[in-house]
Amino acid sequence: MGLPVVMVSQEEDDFCGDLAGVFSANQRFAPWQTNHVICCPDERAGDCAGWMGYGGCKKEYSHCICRVKPDEIVSGVEILLQ
């Protein structure tokens, strides 16, 4: 399709470091073959901080992803519209 995508993620940018290909949904499921911006929280929330597990957030409800600021999402859209 080639449509640009803004992906909002629950993982912080540097989640997992060298193990990102194993645990990171950002790396495994990022938009493919299209321009994209991934908006991530600066850090994970509460007891998810420091937890090493797939996706970076262990809650069954919107938790870490809520730390992504709306203005960051707007900035991502603006980048793709340039």
Q: State the 10-residue block means of pLDDT for the chain, 82 residues long.
A: 88 66 75 90 82 74 89 96 92
User: Between vectors from CA 70 to CA 54 and to CA 27, what angle results, nearest 5°?
Assistant: 30
User: Between vectors from CA 23 to CA 47 and to CA 61, what angle results, nearest 5°?
Assistant: 45
Tally Cβ neighbours within 10 Å of residue 19.
11
Q: CA-to-CA distance for 30 and 24, rounded, in angstroms?
A: 10
pLDDT score, position 20:
59
pLDDT score, position 37:
92
Beta-bridge partners for 36: 5
3-state secondary structure of 38: strand
pLDDT score, position 19:
59
Could you tell me if 20 and 56 are in contact, meaning their C-beta atoms sit under 8 angstroms apart?
Answer: no
Residue in 31, 25, 27 with CA at minimum distance from that of residue 1: 31
